[in-house]
Chain A
Amino acid sequence: MRRSLAGRLWPNIVAVVLFVFFVFPVYWMVTTAFKPDLDIVSSTPVFFPVHATFAHFTKAVHAPGFWTFVRNSFTVTLGAVLLSLIVATLSAFAVARMRFKGRKAFILMIMMAQMAPWEVLTISVYLIVRDSDALNSLLPLTLFYMMMVLPFTVWTLRGFIAAVPKELEEAALVDGCTRFQAFIRVVLPLLAPGLMATSLFGYITAWNEYALVLILNKDSGATLTLWLTEFQTNFGDDWGATMAAASLFTLPVVVVFLIMQRRAGSGMTAGAVKG
């Protein structure tokens, strides 16, 4: 049964329209960043940057403290992801492979924790960090970001661990491995896509976080999110530089997305959740 020409055509047309809808803001960000000022404020928008310039990127990169914020962002993001992977793998293994009293309660706790409205806990988080004299430090940020992604990480890894046939593990036990050795040698290698997928989620969450860093850190303790939101205050109506800054901020996420997507394979969609 052949569809009519129109019937075959419209999904493609819709797809192209949607493609433009999704890509345009990203495209506009990148092209604005490369456009000279005159093209940015011209009364008819310049859709293709023919006179590309790196001036805006230079300005953004030379903004005071930029490299400090880059380092801060990477430190807290990678720290949070690694910590949560370690902590979560332990409990995910317990939940997926063992039976014990309180298992159900634990699962429930994890699900509730996933819903934690961090955005409204800022006041108490501020006071806790202030009273432990740790404001403007990267450690509390790292820990709280770790906690933000921990429930999701536990949950996702539990699924991945459960998907590893336990016969494999049992075979290793028969061969004389301890439970721990069996985990390291058999389960962990098979978990790679799962770890990738989950870390992608953690990476995005921590990289994106705004509400907490807004109140906990300032000046040299700030991260790129804070820098970007204050960019307009700092650079006024210089949209070229602002878009260059936004592009620079987006770049690491896109890179990680592309790497992880390949590595994580099918796990991509599972992990790439924005929270």
Chain B
Amino acid sequence: MKRKLIGAIGVAGMMIGVAACGGSGGSDGKASGGDAGNTITVWLMSGSNPPNWTKQITAAYEKKYPGKKVKIAVQPWDGIQQKLTTALSESTPPDVIEVGNTQTPYYAQTGGLKALDSDKAALGASDWLPAMSKSAVFDGKQIAVPWYAASRVVIYNKKIWADAGITATPKTQDELFKDLGKIKAKGTKDAFYLPGQDWYAFDGLLLDAGADLVKKDGDTYKANLDTPQAAQAINLYKKLNSFGTAPKDKDEATPQQSDVFAKGDVGAFLGLGWEGAGALTKNPKLKDQIGYFPMPGKTADKTAAVFLGGSNLAISQGTKNPKGALNFLKLAMSDQFEGALAKEGGVVPNKAALNTNLQGNEFGTVSAAAAANGGTTPLIPEWGSVENAPNPITTLFMTGVLQGQSPSAAAQKADVEMDKRLSQK
């Protein structure tokens, strides 16, 4: 009875976590009655679903399956693992869930995700980019489907850069620092906004320095932060952070960096396409002022390596409506909606043939090019434990160094904790 009441209150309450992000949307609470047979719940992560895509796929689903409803609830990344683990253990888990590529093996191992092998073909598996579908396979089973990939690029305020007398975007890191220096000298407090705990951004710099967060040691993985490469990467990170007032002990979502950028007094930040779009929604005056360029490398011939973020879609093992969930998945995986997602969100689609959709999306073009030089964390279930809050990479290593510890000292602390988590079964 209570459940019905809550169902009736609808999606409005579910959206609380995303009030600030551009990707909010979803059905409007008419999905009352809470009838599990007719309504499927889809959990998407903050920033993944652009507004028009959300509207259209909801409408398309409800049109294609008359009488059926879809409820899209957007979840913040912060604390998601705890929320998802408990939700998967409950009697009515969300039917379709978006899982980050690095976290997928963790959930696969818990048995909370439904195997999709028999429906693989219908979902278009033959054309998936191997690099993306890798993370959706666990123990030889297809436990999720690759949805999209994205890499961070520098999002900048053209006006501020022009006011500082900069005419071209930087091609090397030295040029970047020189430009940021000029902007700062012009009185912009936040020439570059980089909060201390954006570990995806750090991982890109680390990959660029030629190292990884972990190294393989026989059959197991060991933490690998106490290296000259990691020190080089975090020093670079620290330098970027020093060009602004971003907090050293917060991540990019507290506050949403796109909201900070939207105020119009931030020179640049490292972000994803939806963050640029979100800033524009928040402050329409920024129209034609937002530009994108890839994080430059050390030399002009190559852009910096990036962390290849991405998301998979999965069906929960405990779903009460496997058919409805599969139907939604098929719709989302269709060329129409996969293409629309790429077009609107500027993310790399799961099939090479759909890349044409990125044309005209400035972020998408820059990001897809940068993604060519992308890497990710090891796709092992233990990795999920590392990302559990409090994440040692951010709280022990990054914030530690940014607040004055030596990279080596902070790395040793973080490595101990990471090793502890990596060795847990």
| Residues of chain B with a CB closer than 8 A to A221's CB | 6
Contact A234 B2 (CB under 8 A): no
- Complex CA distance for A238 and B255, rounded to whole angstroms: 9
Contact A64 B19 (CB under 8 A): yes
Bitwise interface map of A from 203 to 240 toward B, beta carbon under 8 Å scored 1, else 0: 00000000000010011111000010010111111100
Contact B90 A227 (CB under 8 A): no
- Complex CA distance for A237 and B254, rounded to whole angstroms: 8
Is B372 an interface residue, CB under 8 A from the partner? no
Contact A232 B254 (CB under 8 A): yes
| Residues of chain B with a CB closer than 8 A to A150's CB | none
Determine which of A68, A137, A230 lies in contact with B13 in the assembled complex, contact meaning CB atoms within 8 Å.
A68
Is A26 an interface residue, CB under 8 A from the partner? no
Q: Across the A-B interface, give the 8 residue pairs with the lowest CB-CB distance, nearest first.
A: A236-B255, A220-B13, A65-B13, A137-B2, A237-B255, A220-B9, A219-B14, A219-B13
Bitwise interface map of B from 1 to 14 toward A, beta carbon under 8 Å scored 1, else 0: 01100100110111
Docked complex: B235-290 residues within 8 A CB-CB of A: 253-256, 259-260
| Residues of chain B with a CB closer than 8 A to A93's CB | none
| Residues of chain A with a CB closer than 8 A to B253's CB | 233
| Residues of chain A with a CB closer than 8 A to B90's CB | 130, 135
Docked complex: A93-109 residues within 8 A CB-CB of B: none
Bitwise interface map of A from 137 to 158 toward B, beta carbon under 8 Å scored 1, else 0: 1110000000000000000000
Give the shortest distance, in Å, between B3 (CB) and chain A (any CB): 7
Query: With A218-B83, A219-B13, A220-B9 known to touch, is A137 a contact of B3 (CB < 8 Å)?
Result: yes
Give the shortest distance, in Å, between B258 (CB) and chain A (any CB): 10
Contact A139 B2 (CB under 8 A): yes
Is A249 an interface residue, CB under 8 A from the partner? no
| Residues of chain A with a CB closer than 8 A to B9's CB | 65, 68, 220
| Residues of chain B with a CB closer than 8 A to A220's CB | 6, 9-10, 12-14
- Complex CA distance for A64 and B16, rounded to whole angstroms: 5
Residue of A nearest to B14 (CB): A219
| Residues of chain A with a CB closer than 8 A to B6's CB | 136-137, 220-221
Give the shortest distance, in Å, between B194 (CB) and chain A (any CB): 16
Is B423 an interface residue, CB under 8 A from the partner? no
Is B86 an interface residue, CB under 8 A from the partner? yes
Give the shortest distance, in Å, between B228 (CB) and chain A (any CB): 36
- Complex CA distance for A65 and B13, rounded to whole angstroms: 5
Contact A235 B83 (CB under 8 A): no
Docked complex: B1-39 residues within 8 A CB-CB of A: 2-3, 6, 9-10, 12-17, 19-20
28 contacts between A and B (CB under 8 A): A64-B13, A64-B19, A65-B9, A68-B12, A126-B86, A130-B86, A130-B89, A136-B2, A136-B3, A137-B2, A138-B2, A215-B86, A219-B14, A219-B16, A220-B6, A220-B9, A221-B6, A222-B16, A230-B16, A232-B255, A234-B17, A235-B19, A236-B20, A236-B256, A236-B259, A236-B260, A237-B260, A238-B255
Is B91 an interface residue, CB under 8 A from the partner? yes
Contact A234 B12 (CB under 8 A): no
- Complex CA distance for A134 and B20, rounded to whole angstroms: 30
Is A29 an interface residue, CB under 8 A from the partner? no
Is A175 an interface residue, CB under 8 A from the partner? no
- Complex CA distance for A235 and B20, rounded to whole angstroms: 6
| Residues of chain A with a CB closer than 8 A to B255's CB | 232, 235-238
Is B73 an interface residue, CB under 8 A from the partner? yes
Is A63 an interface residue, CB under 8 A from the partner? yes
Give the shortest distance, in Å, between A126 (CB) and chain B (any CB): 7
Residue of A nearest to B1 (CB): A137
Residue of B nearest to A226 (CB): B16
Is A133 an interface residue, CB under 8 A from the partner? yes
- Complex CA distance for A268 and B255, rounded to whole angstroms: 41
- Complex CA distance for A221 and B3, rounded to whole angstroms: 10
| Residues of chain B with a CB closer than 8 A to A222's CB | 13, 16
Determine which of A63, A126, A139, A233 lies in contact with B76 in the assembled complex, contact meaning CB atoms within 8 Å.
A233
Residue of B nearest to A218 (CB): B83
Residue of A nearest to B17 (CB): A234
Residue of B nearest to A139 (CB): B2
| Residues of chain B with a CB closer than 8 A to A237's CB | 255, 260
Is B362 an interface residue, CB under 8 A from the partner? no
Docked complex: A233-269 residues within 8 A CB-CB of B: 233-238
- Complex CA distance for A237 and B195, rounded to whole angstroms: 13
- Complex CA distance for A134 and B260, rounded to whole angstroms: 39
Is B163 an interface residue, CB under 8 A from the partner? no
Pick from A133, A139, A218, A234 the residue with the most CB of B within 10 Å: A234
Extra contacts besides A64-B12, A220-B10, A222-B13 (6): CB < 8 Å: A65-B15, A220-B6, A220-B13, A234-B20, A236-B254, A236-B259
